[in-house]
C-alpha cells in the first residue's frame, strides 16, 4: 500500500471517522425511522427496501421549496 506512516489509530482513537454530508441533500430523522421500523416489524437491515413514500416522512430538506420542486418532477 505504499509508504504511508500515517497511523489511523492515533488519529481516530475512538474509532469514529465520518464524512460530512452534502448540505444540499436531505437529512434523515434516524431515531423516528428506527422507531417506525420497530413498530412495523421491519428489521433495520431492510430499511433500504422501504418505498419512497414511506421514507419521505423521515426526510428533512434543507430547502423545502426544492423538495416540492422534486415532487413535481416525479
Convert the pLDDT of each residue in 17-68 to its tens digit: 777 888 888 999 999 999 999 999 999 899 999 999 999 999 999 876 655 6
| SS3 at position 27 | strand
Q: If residue 28 lies in a helix (H) or strand (E), which one and from where to where?
A: strand 27-28
- Using an 8 Å Cβ cutoff, are 49 and 39 in contact? no
**Domain ranges across the chain:** 22-73
Cell of residue 49, nine digits: 427496501
pLDDT band at 1 (very low <50, low <70, confident <90, very high): very low
User: Is 11's pLDDT higher than 70?
Assistant: yes
Assign 55 to helix, strand or coil. helix
Q: What's the CA gap between 29 and 72, in Å, rounded?
A: 23
DSSP state of 24: T
> Are the beta carbons of 37 and 47 closer than 8 angstroms?
yes
Amino acid at each position: 500500500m505504499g509508504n504511508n506512516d500515517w497511523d489511523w489509530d492515533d488519529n481516530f482513537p475512538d474509532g469514529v471517522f465520518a464524512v460530512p454530508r452534502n448540505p444540499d441533500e436531505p437529512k434523515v430523522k434516524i431515531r423516528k425511522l428506527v422507531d417506525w421500523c420497530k413498530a412495523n416489524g421491519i428489521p433495520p437491515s431492510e430499511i433500504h427496501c422501504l418505498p419512497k413514500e414511506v421514507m419521505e416522512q423521515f426526510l428533512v430538506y434543507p430547502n423545502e421549496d426544492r423538495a416540492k420542486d422534486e415532487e413535481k418532477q416525479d
